[in-house]
Amino acid sequence: MIQRLLPFLSLIALFVGLSISSPPFLTATNLSSVVRQTAVINIMALGMTLIIVAGGIDLSVGAILAFAGLIGTKIMEQHGAIAAGLLAGIAAGFFWGLVNGLLTERLKINPFIVTLGTLGIIRGLALLYSGGLPVVGLPRGFSFLGEGAVLGLPFVLYLLVFCAGLTHFLLQYTKLGRYAYAIGSNREAAVYAGIPVSFHTVAVYAISGALTGLAGMIEASRLMTGQPTAGQGYELQVIAAVVIGGGSLSGGEGSVIGTLIGAFIMGLLANGCDLLGISPYIQQAVIGAVIILAVTLDEVRKRRFAKS
Amino acid sequence: MLSHNTVQTSVLLELEHILKRFGGVRALEDGNLSVKAGEVHLLLGENGAGKSTLMKIAAGMLQPDGGVIRWRGEPVRLRTPAEAAAIGVAMVHQESLIAPHLTVAENIFLGREPLRGGMLDRRRMEREADALITEHRFPLQSGWRVERLSPAQKQLVEICRAIHSASSLLIFDEPTSSLSASETAEVFRIVRNLRERGMGIIYITHRMEELRAIGDRVTILRDGCTVASGALAELSMEQMIHHMVGREIAALYERAPLEPGEELLRVERPGVCFRIRAREIVGLAGLMGAGRTGLCRRIFGLDGDGEVYLSGRRVRIRSPRDAVAGGLAFLTEDRQRTGLALRLPIRTNVTLTNLSSLSRLGILTAAREQSPVRNLIEKLRIRADSPEQLAGRLSGGNQQKAVLAKWLFRQARIFLFDEPTRGIDVGAKAEVFRLMDELARAGAGLLMVSSELPELLQVADRILVMRAGQIVKELARPTTQEQILRYAAVGE
């Protein structure tokens, strides 16, 4: 039980530790900046939770984020339509998620390989489409998405809470979520039980794609540009958030709460390193070590389970 | 010291008062066993009695928390399987511990690869493997990749590996649980052959009918303790069962056929024509590789398109979804791989087949699942703390019941049971039969695939015999093992 709570306790410990060691940490400005910084990874990680629970993986989310941001901002740049741009960005993400899911299911290829391939394809297409140049000159109102505040809280926090609630609902209270756990836990048993396994696997990738599309629009809004090179390396942070939060890369395990905690642990680590003046180079190493530590603890717990 | 040794010459391995805990759970309380050279020593006990744990300790795979291990009279410590192999002890595992991507030869030599100038001596490996295979007349070739082999052949690879690594004592952990009658006979032949050469054999089994055919002495474990040990000839079957379960149970299950009702399933394919009616249990016998499981898979839509007649209506079955929608249920041989999601609770496993019945407006709540799952647990007498217990924590018999619960929740009417008692202990077998009988009484139709002929004879109303992918004979009650085997082996 203590080990199940470990990610949460670590988060609390990290929070308390930083509050004590760095006075600027516990200020509204800093905390809302942490929220804004982690929101993008957080929302992507929600989608990744669905995929990992279902026993899959998506390495192309960073590229999808860039592609979606690019499409969305291009439409805003050309037509000035914020809502249309937003929807287009989300739709672009959904589309690529769908492609990933269909490729994995139709070709029966390991999703690791499929999405490693689409990572290159999507990123290449984004660069090709933009000619390598960022999209600028976006409508000013667009910055509200990433930088705005409502009732003193960052707007992205509301978005995050909404998306998290939605994903949690999907995972815990719908057939889709139940099937995702079943497929991830034992795909063959799910097939034998007469579950439409392929359909639900594809659906999970598509939903994750849409969430990544939204994250892409938030990222674009924060930078007020559409960058074809945005989101490089995000896939690792996103997967790390899920895994730190208790998700298992062998499928069947993971939760929204865990993922949120995982993403915030990483966000706080980065923020803490900044505040304490620790080199960003070391930050990467610290986060890497935390991932290994988290997974090790989880393995220990599982081995104990297996033995008893 | 010298006199002690001379007295003990024929005794190979002695395990005394072995104690083993896993976390807080005591797997072995007082494990005792003494095996001599040139004997087949049977180790009996129900699932969870501690047989496998005791043998893993003997094979150096687990370390005891207490007790003494003696090898030829001298206390020894076996810290790894390699140390055990070094003194001459090896184990043939129940679940295949072989590397699927390697060849038969590579698996036999795994961890003991012969080298030549620092490089793998592939030729020698294959030569020696071939010699071993030929010597024992195994249906194998050294160059075959293990992943393409049948479970029976994989078991033979395991046996090869053990024979190759150990010279004095071999431990067989239920070697025949996945084998057909003819393959079982083959394993017996190998075991006897090894005994003739003066090796000691420890043989774990669930199949009571095998005992007399193979054993010399017997040790019986119950709840982690050795409760009896002695010459097999001095113990009756009833006594042994009594020691195993600690209570009297009917050794044989008796079942009278019911009056069959309307036709539920009819299959009309070249070479394979049969029907199953309501309240009927139809047996399906055949040797390993006769295509019994394949037939179930095709009916269930796992191997592409096919047609069956459900209650007289022609239905096309393209996938398990269609089969399930048509009221079919497939209880597979390999429950852990295809029947249950072991890391999910019983509840989730059971309701998976019919979530729509629990959803309101697409919303599913765990609370609504509780009472139907509890009812099924109670009805099938699944030994579980609660519906939330993980399926992986159930014993073999209870896992089988959980799979059945899954299909009852779906309200299936036609049940395909593939080796329903595989890996299930004596006490639980009778209960599985009782449940099958109850299903039939409730109007279901059952197909029972089994390699255990005595069980087929006890449970099935009539028996279809399959050979080389075709149903060659239908035998009505009363029939005999000999008759079944004749059709299964010769086809006439």
Q: Dump pLDDT digits (tens) for B236-293.
A: 877 887 787 765 444 556 788 889 999 999 999 989 999 999 999 999 998 777 889 9
CB contacts of B22 in chain A (<8 Å) are 307-308
Cβ-Cβ contacts under 8 Å, A252 against chain B: 341, 343-344
Q: How far apart are CA B315 and CA B307, in angstroms?
A: 6
Coil, strand, or helix at residue A224?
coil
Residue B339 with chain A: CB contacts under 8 Å:
189, 192
* Predicted pLDDT at B162: 87
Q: How large is the average pLDDT for residues B486-492?
A: 77
Identify the residue among B28, B343, B350, B356 best suited for mutation to test binding to A, counting A beta carbons within 10 A and taking the highest.
B343
pLDDT of res. B8:
42
How far CA B375 is from CA of A149, A239, B372, B409, in Å, comes to: 52, 40, 5, 10
Domain B263-489, CATH: 3.40.50.300
Q: Which residues pair with B92 in a beta bridge?
A: B172
Q: Which of A172, A178, A192 sits opposite B338 (nearest CB)?
A: A192
Q: What is the mean pLDDT of residues B131-138?
A: 84
Across the range B332-337, mean pLDDT stands at 88
Chain B residues lying within 8 Å of A189, measured CB to CB: 337-341, 349
Q: In chain A, what residues touch B300 (CB-CB under 8 Å)?
A: 192
User: For residues B58 and B38, what is the distance between their CA atoms, to the nearest angstrom?
Assistant: 18
Among candidates A172, A174, A182 on the partner chain, residue whose Cβ is nearest the Cβ of B344 = A182
| Residue B94 confidence (pLDDT) | 64
* Whether pLDDT at B62 is above 60: yes
Q: Which pLDDT belongs to residue B248?
A: 47
pLDDT by residue for chain A (308 residues), tens only, comes to: 556 677 888 899 989 999 998 888 889 889 998 999 899 999 999 999 999 999 999 999 999 999 999 999 999 999 989 999 999 999 999 999 999 999 999 999 999 999 999 999 999 999 999 998 999 989 999 999 999 999 989 999 999 999 999 999 999 999 999 999 999 999 999 999 999 999 999 999 999 999 999 999 999 999 999 999 999 989 999 999 999 888 888 889 999 999 999 999 989 988 888 888 888 888 888 878 888 887 787 777 777 665 54
Phi, psi of A7 (to 5 degrees): -55, -40
Q: Tell me which range, A21-25, B410-414, B479-483, is most confidently predicted by mean pLDDT.
A: B410-414
User: How many secondary structure helices (H) and strands (E) does chain A include?
Assistant: 13, 2
Rounded CA gap, B135 and B121, in Å? 21
Please give the radius of gyration of chain B, using alpha carbons only, rounded to the nearest integer: 24
pLDDT for position B164: 85
The burial of B352, by beta-carbon neighbours within 10 Å (0-12 exposed, 13-18 middle, 19 or more buried), is given as: buried
- E strand or H helix at B119: strand B119-120
From CA B387, how far away is CA B310, in angstroms rounded? 33
Cα–Cα distances (Å) from B151 to A214, B100, B206, B273, B421, in that order, read 49, 12, 18, 27, 17
B364 and A175 within 8 Å at the Cβ level: the answer is yes
Residue B470: in which H helix or E strand, if any?
Answer: strand B470-476
Q: Compute CA distances B114 → A282, B58, B119, B120, B123, whole Å.
A: 46, 26, 8, 6, 10
Closest CA to B39 of B18, B15, B10: B10
Higher pLDDT: B47 or B9? It is: B47
pLDDT at A306: 59
A281 interfacial to chain B (CB closer than 8 Å): no
Instruction: Give the C-alpha distances (Å, rounded to integers) separating A5 from A8, A10, A20, A164, A298.
Output: 5, 9, 23, 19, 11
Which of B56, B364, B389, B404 is the best substitution to test chain A (most A C-beta atoms within 10 A)? B364
B 175-194 residues inside an 8 A Cβ radius of A = none
Q: Chain B contact for A253, CB < 8 A?
A: yes
Report chain A residues whose CB lies below 8 A from the CB of B363: 173-174
CB within 8 Å: A189 and B337: yes
Name the residue facing B363 among A173, A188, A192 (closest C-beta): A173
Contact residues on chain B for A200, CB-CB shorter than 8 A: none
Reading the block at residue A297, the tokens are 């603890």
Confidence of residue B396 (pLDDT cuts 50, 70, 90): confident
Is B175's pLDDT higher than 50? yes
The mean pLDDT of B378-393, rounded to a whole number, is 89
Residue in A closest to B343 by C-alpha: A185
B326 touches chain A (CB under 8 A): no
Find the CB nearest B364 among A173, A193, A308. Answer: A173
Among residues B403, B427, B431, the alpha carbon closest in space to that of B336 is found at B403
Classify residue A134 by its DSSP letter. Answer: P
What was the ipTM of the complex prediction?
0.83
Mean per-residue pLDDT, B145-174: 84
**pLDDT higher than threshold 60 for residue B383:** yes
Range in A185-199, B351-365, B457-471 with the lowest mean pLDDT:
B351-365
Can you say how many angstroms the Cα of residue A45 is from the centroid of all Cα atoms in its chain?
2
Please give the Cα distance from B300 to B314 (Å, whole number). 14
- Please tell me the class of the B2-245 domain: alpha beta
The predicted structure's pLDDT at residue A154: 94
Are B191 and B214 contacting, i.e. CB atoms less than 8 angstroms apart? Answer: yes
| Cβ-Cβ contacts under 8 Å for B117 (sequence gap 6 or more) | none
Asked if B337 is an interface residue toward chain A (Cβ–Cβ < 8 A), one would say yes
User: With 80 as the cut, is the pLDDT of residue B387 above it?
Assistant: yes
Task: Examine residue B454 and say whether the peptide bond preceding it is cis (omega within 30 degrees of 0).
Answer: no
Of B355, B340, B444, B354, the C-alpha closest to B394 is B340
Q: Where are the domains positioned within chain B?
A: 2-245, 263-489
- CB–CB of A189 and B338 under 8 A? yes
Residue A176 C-alpha, separation from nearest chain B C-alpha, in angstroms: 10
CB spacing of A193 vs B324 below 8 angstroms: yes
Residue ranges in B166-204 assigned as alpha helix (H): 181-196
Residue with the two structure tokens 């849409």: A210
Q: Do domains B2-245 and B263-489 have the same CATH topology?
A: yes
* Residues B342, A175: C-beta atoms closer than 8 Å: no
CB A251 within 8 A of CB A185: yes
Please tell me if residue B367 touches chain A, with a CB cutoff of 8 Å: no
Q: What percent of chain B has pLDDT over 70?
A: 93
Q: What is the pLDDT of residue B27?
A: 83
